[in-house]
Structure 1
Amino acid sequence: MSPPDPERAKLDGRGPDPDTRAAAREAASAARQLGRQLAILLAGSVRWAARSSGRAAAGGAERLGGLRRRLARPASSAPSPDSAPARSAAPPPRRPGRWRRAAFALVALVAVPLLALLGYVLAAFLTLPPLGSVTTDPGSRALTVEADDGRVFATRGVFRGQPLTAADLPPHLAQAIVAIEDRRFYSHWGVDLRGLARAAWRNALGGGVREGGSTITQQYVRLTSLSQEKTLRRKIQEAFLALRAESEMTKSDILLGYLNTAYFGAGAYGVDAAARRYFGKPAKQVSLPEAAMLAGLVRAPSQLAPTRNFGGAKERADVVLQAMVETGAITAKEADAARTKTVTLRTPPETPPGANYFLDLVAADAKRLADTGGDVTVRATLNLDLQSLAEGVIARRLDAEGQKKKASQAALVALSPQGAILAMVGGRDYEDSQFNRAVQAKRQAGSLFKLFVYLTAYSQGLSPDSMLVDRPVQIGDWEPQNSNNRFRGALPLRTAFALSVNTIAAQLGDELGIPAVIATARKLGITSDLPNVPSLALGSAEVTLLEMTRAYAGVLANRTPLETFSIHAIRGAQPQPLYLHPDPAQTGGLSADSRSMMLDSLQAVVDGGTGKAARVPGLAVGGKTGTTQDYRDAWFIGMTPDLVVGIWVGNDDNSSMNRVGGGDLPAAMFRDFVQRASAQLAKGRKRPSAARAEPAPAVQAGAQPTVQPGIQPPAPVPVEASAEARGVPEVIDTGTLSFRGRVVRLAGVEGEGGALARQLARYLRRREVVCATVSDGMRCRIEGDDLAALILAAGGARASESAPPDLLAAEEQARAERVGLWGRDR
């Protein structure tokens, strides 16, 4: 390495030589003297302008008087002999020439703007704020959120990290910042006139602002002492404060202050926060390529944050390494070696959009459970596999049937029998609406509320075989009606519950007493207002999806009430966790008989009642449908031995749907979700202990994974030895190919034309495709990969309703990544 330029001060943090600091103090003193001289000059200029205007006014008055006298004298009169000597003795004053008037105008033209500018500079100087007057909120903190298996999938808030000291600052990090931001940092006095001239020249040649002339010192004082407004006054104050900072602080202190306050993207303020945010390590441990990447972010942190734009961050890091070579900080060989090293991120590229409903809940719970300062890591209950599956089920069903059935929104909550929230979908699109319909929306429950009526009946001695008569009923002025406006006569309670007979539920509520039904609902965790009116038996009260799903889960788990939770553990900077979710207390519960009878009735709903659409072959399922008046709300809450899932479908404006009941879209969504969720849970993948807080695995930066959380690799597709079609096909649409006139339709794919078809044609150009008939239709392969899965994963088509699980998973991947059909700009 070549010896450092004497013009640069040492990069080891010891600061400038005494001559430079003395010069900086002289510059600050000169700035104060300049302020006093400006005040004197301004006062003198005002007095000069006043005297000049007074003389001009007097001369004008004299000339006006002479003109009046000449006009008053008769034109025919001749001058008298006596007046000649007088005129000779006192000649009239001469008029100023044109050059004097032009000079006066020119002086005024220059002096007035100059005086205004000098006054503006003086005002900016006199209103300088003290150094370090801008402070950050000490209570702000960031959340790093891990899924239940330890994978980091989201961050929230502002990362502050730990302030660096001179001992913590790696030399290559300081060298990288100086090389790319301010090469003359150790030789200028806070304002680099040479750098300003260079930036102005390059901006003029480039036709716009391409380079800034601010020094590190100016950036530091702007971050710590000034607002971020882009005005001339702020720039003037920035320059004055930079001179002051250089006279009062060492170069090392200025550089450390800048590194501790600069923004590095992704919510990270300060280089230590950025190092922990991106690389999972403190700033003092970063390597040379990591330091170069961090130094490159401060110019455009939002655009270059590696979590969003890893390629751009890597290119900028290469520029930083070259700048370090040019300044002599490293050699070209060291730069080449740094470029070849792999930079590994400890965070995912982007937070899954649909998980933000759950993240809102986690952020509120974390504040309630551990409201302390500093950044924290939260081990949440979310199962990323089930979350991705839930989002895909909701989106696919609403896309396919929502418009026809006038249903625009849906929500889903999946709970474990212990109350952990495994998945949550609060609406169709978080970016369009952050309102969480699973937690915040209160809607009439309809027949879903009959759970509490029948559970009360079973606890008071009735059984599923007890008989009641389905008949016209009048309770006061209220006459409940069945949905089909018919009466079935005598029915056992099991059948009445399964078929959701309103008249029998109304009779039970009247005989048992509405207060007893309310008490049962409260016991199971319903906290919403429950009016003591007869119609409550049919669900006239407004409740949330989460509390109703919680009540049904309480029956399955035999815990009253069952406490739902979203967080396993919270960790701070210390090894000891700030919070651990306690084991549930074994208190409360239903009687064994009433619980058994209630579970039997719930299963009857799915086996042969209103919830038949929720049946899953080979799986024991129980549940209950709910439909409100005029089809404004449709509910289904179902349970398996491993899951309790609640689903609501409706419209935000409370408008009616096209005859959508709980046994329609909600039950179908439940079946779609549970059928595949049960298979996911059956795999029994080992998950790290939340109490031990095992670290999440690193994510290779820059890689484009083909498997997203919750997406399983497509199952191998067997292709018969005698393929039915082979060759380079023509593309009719993204689901239909033509092999020399023979049309092949890809099984499970609903093709798209237009631009997507043209993209597929370019992809298949001169590439052989092999197609064969298999059990589920015609499947094709290209270079060993299933073509249908590739198309769906790229967002080139929609999966059909009958598509096998591997193709549905590929479509969910495209939805999660918002590519192709699912892009927001389409």
Structure 2
Amino acid sequence: MLLPTACTAGVGARDAAGWFESEPDGLTTSGVPQRSRILAADGSVLATFFYQNRVDVPLDRIAPVARRAILAIEDSRFYQHGAIDSQGTLRALASNLSNGQVTQGGSGITQQYVKNLLLTTAESAAEVRAAKEVSAARKIRELRYAVALEKRYSKDEILRRYLNIAYYGDGAYGIEAAARHYFSKPASKLELGEAALLAGVIRYPYAYDPVHHPGAARERRDIVLRRMAELGWLDKDAAEAAVREPIGLRVQHVQSGCVTSSAPFFCDYVQREILTSTVFGATPQEREKLLKRGGLTIRTTLDRHAQRAAQRAVDAHVPRRNSAHKAAAEAMVEPGTGKIKALVVDRALGPDRERGKTWINFAADASHGSSIGMQAGSTFKAFTLAAALDEGLPFGTRLLAPSSFTPVGYRDCDGKARNDPDSELRNSADGEGGRTFSLVTGTHHSVNTFFLALERKVGLCETVKMAERLGMRQANGQALEQYPSFTLGFNPVSPLRLAAAYAAFGARGRYCAPIAITQVTVASGRKMKVPGADCRQAIDKGVADAVNYVLSGVLTKGTAKGLGLGRPAAGKTGTVDNFSAAWFAGYTPELAAAVWVGDPRGGYRYPMENLCMDGRCYGAVFGATIPAPIWQQSMSGALSETSAGSFHRPPDHFFSRGSGEDRVRVPDVRGMRLREAVVRLRGAGFKVRLGPPVKSDRYKKGTVAETSPAAGSAEPGDTITLRPSSGPGPRGPRDPRGGGGGEQVPVPPDFPSPTTPPDLAGTPPDQRENPA
């Protein structure tokens, strides 16, 4: 019937039979889509990806009653016949050929498996059409494949493959996914009525889908139950009792992708890692196919405890749908390994047109979240500090921090002059220009002009190279731009990259690129190669210890005073010019984190000045206003079950000029003539200025009657104000302008002019920094 021309000759018939029974070229059973899962570090599921929702299981994990139900309704003689059931297939085929079209079924389970296999593994439109075409040619092809498969596999293996490939309606492929979807249980736990329902769906999944067509599904289930009884595989009373039972669905939907994940932005980061890394395929199409069809088990670095702590902290300070439309993001990285422990955004993953949602992962680079990054502000001063310490400068190194700074004397790494003699960079909210600072105190107070001077002393190129050694680059993937205000953090970066850089300080100079994936296993159990952290000693251990020594003081004496963790910790605030964004980056030996707060609509257009958000008003937002409290809360939660480590003492040579915090004694110059007092104070390392005269019964006219600060201790380079005696007399209310009724003492010519706090006005917006 199949080959009438071949049947006219014995040789032709013999050749045709040989052709039919030979294994066809290109026959493969691989490529059946399997769903992939992303797992947290503890093995819990973060997300599922699939082209078809399918979970492949062995035969012994499918309830025997489910196997019997499907055999009863689809192919009761499966274990008795070969690839072709002469009582079914040939009868149906003869009828179809005589009518010129396919009008009857009759395919056994092996043939049905072949049909599903060809359709499921089809990758081109032509292959799909060939698998679906209604023709004798397709039937002959399927029969030939069935013969080959019966030779290759046992009956049990063919049945297992069929049960795992069949479609059960409503997006469930394979009996395991169907059992979980319709009854919220594995296939191994299916009971009689449930097994019969699933067996009945297979013939016409769209018509018998029990979610959308419960009546038709129940009728079909009852047919299966009575067929089992007819075959003697089920007691008739048991069958009728099952018929009277409702179908009893407990539908469980499985979403593909990260939208419903408990860690959506971390999940999205992992997804993008798979889709962009050539480790997982040469082309984007290959990588997407692997993720959605490859049955991957992707084990990640996510710490659910840290993730929850970070999300709670971010949401508490910058709620998802806050009235000011601000956003926040945080990344946590483990020092010494590069493992991303948490990645959070105060938004849901979704379309930006819906308030409180975004597709942009503000915590990651553009390659892993579409973010172009944000200016990092004074958090970049840590790289200038590290570069200075790397050149051997001791903590007591002091530089003048003028009220305004003209950026000249800089060269980039190409040797090109990077100067801007027509601009002036200033200190902003601190108002601490006009005196000297040490590496320690300049960092604690985050003094702009001090760091501009330090960057010039160390070298712009050396500062940039230090940041690059610690893994820094722009969020768009390009190299860091090199200008004098580099140390003030004008380069747009991501919280994740900044957290990884600061983690290197906590790991004593060992830098590891951030990683999210620890292992990828394909459906067959084979492990794939995954991108590594490429850990390396980026800076000397002693230099890192010195950085830790200085940055620890930021939390105890500096711009983030009072925001420590009750355990060894260090960090740096960052406030971007015009209050367009605020940052905090900090770490312990066990964990590092960076927090950004800003406005996704544009920080310069919507600055955080006079900010009120959901009933809380902050005035101007500095790094210590919102980001540092988020960091403190999230780190405290993440480390609550972790023993506290400690930083190492820096090498002694960094203390060659003292601790950098040492205060020296202010000589008592009361009663001295002005010139003698000036010489004495300058010899002790202080500046001197003249204040208004004051009446004094104790000190002679023209001698020093009062000093401010009084005799005691102060930092080297501090300014001591002298108030000369105008002679004895009654003490009345002082003239706030500095009078007193006495004779004015002329200022010696070598006295510096009195300084006043610098004016904020006139500072170029892109070169100001507001230390918090």
Q: What range describes the TM-score normalised by the shorter chain of this pair?
A: 0.5 to 0.7
Aligned residues of 1:190 and 1:215 also touching (Cα < 8 A): no
Matched with 1:493 is: 439
Say whether the 8 Å CA contact 2:46–2:263 is kept in structure 1: no
Offset at residue 507 of structure 1 (A): 1.0
Cα root mean square deviation, aligned = 5.7
Letter in 2 for 1:677: A
C-alpha distance in structure 1 between counterparts of 2:430 and 2:62, whole Å:
79
Alignment of 1:333-732 (within 5 A): 353-366=261-274, 368-369=278-279, 371=281, 374-399=294-319, 402-404=322-324, 406-407=325-326, 409-417=327-335, 418-426=337-345, 428-432=347-351, 433-439=358-364, 440=366, 441=371, 442-471=373-402, 472-475=404-407, 476-484=421-429, 486-488=431-433, 489-528=435-474, 529-573=479-523, 577-579=527-529, 587-612=536-561, 614-616=563-565, 618-655=566-603, 656-659=606-609, 660-681=621-642
The CA distance in 2 between the partners of 1:481 and 1:319, in whole Å, is 82
Contact 1:220–1:257 (CA<8 Å) still a contact in 2?
A: no
CA shift digits 1:337-376 (9 cap, x unpaired): 9999x99999999975342322233234456545596422
**What's the secondary structure of 1:483's corresponding residue?**
coil
- The 8 Å contact of residues 37 and 47 in structure 2, kept in 1 or not, is answered as yes
TM-score (norm: length of structure 1): 0.52
- Residue by residue over 1:386-414, the C-alpha shift from the partner in whole angstroms, topping out at 9 and shown as x without a partner, is 2233223323322289424x41x222111
Distance of 1:297 and 1:557 partners within structure 2: 58
**TM-score normalised by the chain length of structure 2:** 0.55
Q: Secondary structure at the match of 2:511?
A: coil
Out of 151, 157, 178, which is 2:44 matched to? Answer: 151
Shift of 1:530: 1.6
State the shift of 1:599 in Å.
0.9
Find the aligned partners of 2:344 and 2:206 in 1 and give their Cα distance: 28
* AA at the equivalent of 1:511: K
Equivalent residue, structure 2, for 1:115: none
Q: Deviations over 1:416-472 (max 9, x none)?
A: 122211111245111232222111222211111111111111122323333223312
- Confirm or deny: 8 A CA contact 2:57 2:176 kept in the other structure: yes
| Cα distance in 2, alignment partners of residues 506 and 499 from structure 1 | 14
Q: Contact 2:334–2:592 (CA<8 Å) still a contact in 1?
A: yes
**Partner secondary structure for residue 353 of structure 1:** coil
Query: 8 Å contact 1:180–1:320 — kept in the other structure?
Result: no
- 1:361 maps to a residue whose letter is Y
SS in 2 for 1:553: helix
Give the Cα separation in 2 of the matches to 1:244 and 1:234: 12
> 1:759-770 alignment to 2 at 5 Å?
none
How far is 1:282 from its partner?
Answer: 11
In structure 2, the CA distance between the partners of 1:370 and 1:666, relative to structure 1 (3 Å rule), is same
Deviations 1:650-688 (A, max 9, x none): 22232323233322221121122122222144699xxxx
Q: CA offsets per residue over residues 770-822 of structure 1, 9 Å max, x none?
A: xxxxxxxxxxxxxxxxxxxxxxxxxxxxxxxxxxxxxxxxxxxxxxxxxxxxx
Shift of 1:264: 5.0
What residue ranges of structure 2 are gaps of 5+ in the alignment? Answer: 6-23, 78-84, 96-106, 151-157, 282-286, 352-357, 408-420, 610-620, 646-772
Q: Aligned equivalents of 2:38 and 2:315: distance in 1?
A: 25
Q: Distance in 2 between matches of 1:652 and 1:491?
A: 36
| Comparing 529-538 and 330-339, the one that deviates more | 330-339
State whether residues 569 and 578 of structure 1, in contact with CA within 8 Å, keep that contact through their aligned partners in structure 2. yes
Q: Is the 8 A contact 1:153 1:348 kept in 2?
A: no
Counterpart Cα distance in 2 of 1:555 and 1:603: 11
- Which residue number corresponds to residue 712 of structure 1? none
**Structure 2: distance between partners of 1:516 and 1:267:** 58
C-alpha distance in structure 1 between counterparts of 2:568 and 2:215, whole Å: 55
CA distance in 1: counterparts of 2:170 and 2:332, whole angstroms: 30
**What SS is found at the alignment partner of 1:491?**
strand
Give the partner amino acid of 1:324: V
1:209-249 deviation line (CA, Å, top 9, x unaligned):
xxxxx9999999699569999xxx99996598998789888
Q: Using a 3 Å threshold, how does the CA distance of structure 1 residues 477 and 236 change in structure 2: closer, same or farther?
A: closer
Quick one: structure 1 residues 667 and 597, their matched pair in 2 at CA, closer, same or farther if it must change by over 3 Å? Answer: same
Shift of 1:482: 1.8
Which sections of structure 1, spanning at least 5 residues, go unmatched?
1-21, 30-130, 194-213, 685-826
Report if the CA contact (8 A) 1:611-1:625 is conserved: yes
**Are residues 1:326 and 2:226 paired?**
yes
Tell me the secondary structure at the aligned position of residue 43 of structure 2: coil
Contact 2:515-2:532 at 8 Å conserved across structures: no
AA paired with 2:550?
S
Give the SS at the match of 1:521.
Answer: helix
Q: What's 2:717 paired with? A: none
Measured against aligned partners, the alpha-carbon deviations of 1:276-332 in whole angstroms (never above 9, x if no partner) come to 99999998x786668557547769999999xxx9x9999999887654322225346
The one-letter amino acid paired with 2:623 is G
One-letter code of the match for 1:473? F
Pick closer, same or farther for the CA change 1:325–1:611 going to 2, 3 Å. Answer: same
CA contact (8 A) 2:116 2:165 kept: no
Superposition pairs of residues 301-312 of structure 1, within 5 angstroms = none
Does the 8 A contact of 1:626 with 1:636 survive in 2?
Answer: yes
8 A Cα contact 1:606 1:615, kept in partner = yes
- Equivalent pair of 1:142/1:157 in contact (CA under 8 Å): yes
**Partners in 2 of 1:411 and 1:303 — Cα distance?**
47
Say which SS state the counterpart of residue 150 (structure 1) adopts.
coil
CA contact (8 A) 1:175 1:324 kept: no
Judge which range, 635-644 or 134-143, deviates more. Answer: 134-143
Where in structure 2 are the equivalents of 1:193-272 lying within 5 Å? 261-263=165-167, 269-271=173-175
What is the CA–CA distance in structure 1 between the aligned matches of 2:329 and 2:521, rounded to whole Å? 30
> Which whole-Å CA distance do the structure 1 matches of 2:197 and 2:40 have between them?
28
Counterpart of 2:305, as a letter, is D
Deviation at 1:522, TM superposition (A): 1.2
CA contact (8 A) 1:607 1:615 kept: yes
Separation of aligned partners in 2, 1:304 and 1:384? 40
User: What amino acid is the match of 1:602?
Assistant: L
Maintained 8 Å contact 2:318/2:346 = no
CA 1:413/1:276 → structure 2, altered by over 3 Å: closer, same or farther? same
Whichever residue aligns with residue 384 of structure 1, its letter is R
Gap change, CA 1:628 and 1:574, over 3 Å in 2: same
Amino acid at match of 1:599: N
Q: SS of the counterpart of 2:379?
A: helix
- TM-aligned CA distance change 1:411 to 1:167, over 3 Å: closer
Shift of 1:504: 0.8
> Alignment length, in residue pairs?
528
**In 2 relative to 1, CA 668–375 (structure 1 residues): closer, same or farther, beyond 3 Å?**
same
